[in-house]
Structure 1
């Protein structure tokens, strides 16, 4: 995406708890009930949270709730227990977790683990809308995955994964056998499968309008640790400058990765002029070739509405397509 379509935008962020479940491993049993903290600038993607990503070499600390109490907790559903987050970010969350400062939070740490050690741990999902594994294929979901792109630059060092709404999320989850699950339609409105239960209020809402009721549901359910405003660079439509969202669309692919090695071999038999193209621009392109999406959409987003003012009823009408490999076309190269 071109740099000129990015501009600063003020968004609501939330930091949410994900209680770890006891499994067969001794580590999971020792961490049962400890709440992993994940931060996101897109609360509207949380209904489709299917995994948490940790950095392989990042150090994660377990710290109990501090004596001052959890700031964002509601009286009806208090947030208690131990918390898991990157050790380098303890100071950032010290007051939210009930401590006077980072030093006090660090002194209270009871255990530390690398991201690699946490891989495979299971946790309690936020809601159960996609718990039917036969219907949604989510039998491998709601566990810790290791991803190299996770950093401690901001957030908690633990990244919420919604594979339908982010390229990194989709790749990491695909490798773990976790499917793409959609929660919004082509108009960026939440599907009516949310018409019942704790998120009934978001059914039919535009994604940005759903942030507030989702945050309230998190607070009421005792899963909210922090709510804050955040200014960041965000993609906008190059025509009308309305905000975009990433949304997965079903696409047909040619599996170029199956025969790219053969293409590289044949490239060596070509007499290129100038000769540096063989192992230069073209050779490098072949070496890094990816599966080729051949699907095309007749209408890109909603051109008839593009250019209209950004209002609750029209914003997020334009989409940047992120295409999961749902139905690749097998191909052979001879």
Structure 2
């Protein structure tokens, strides 16, 4: 009888210990889960192409100061300021969360499960402000013992949109066509490849591809002067300057020899780029006594309003019947 009581007591004791261990493991797992977070700041990195900065460039050219000229031009593309009230999205394999930045542009996601995340941000347009968005999502990783991550999420207000229509040979709209805007040429490194954008044509055949990072006014100035915008000053090549628009639609096909290549040159960028080209011409005149830099005739400039390229209509043909 005493032995039986001992066994009963021992069994109960073991059960209690196991329950305590399970509870401790669960509590620690919960603590680890709650302790995991991704924090960061959203910053506006839209280049400052103000007339004031362009005037500074012109004055540097007049002083024949190439170093000062380069520093000012570089500084125009290195601006950064925090963005309050931005909507931030953390997208993981099993969860998607949203939050807003505070007055200092900071945000924090807590209680995230381990995994890989893509962090993006946007600010809706208002009466006095443009829409801002992330060009390419920022990667964040919560793996193993690494339970936290800090990131900086850049947004821009000058992203380019391409609009047009998908039509058949008779000019009728094609609805439901899958449209893909792909940077061209593709760089050798996937890390620096701008993202491809996607859209589906509406009932009237219209489509809109959003979120392309604009070319620099320096590269556009070279394009206007007749240079190859896909090469840099050091001789490197495969620098994306154009967007190829590919279309797929049931029962139709796109002529692969006539894929549109749209230079990301817009009305909003043309003014600063043309002024920069004139400044570069003056700088070369100051340094060399002569210059051939000028805007060449026949350079293709797509129709645009602001930073929206318009009228990129694409005609598809009926697929031949399979015999």
Q: Which has the larger radius of gyration?
A: 2
Structure of greater relative contact order (alpha carbons < 8 Å, 6+ residues apart): 1
TM-score range, shorter chain: under 0.3
TM value normalised by structure 2: 0.26
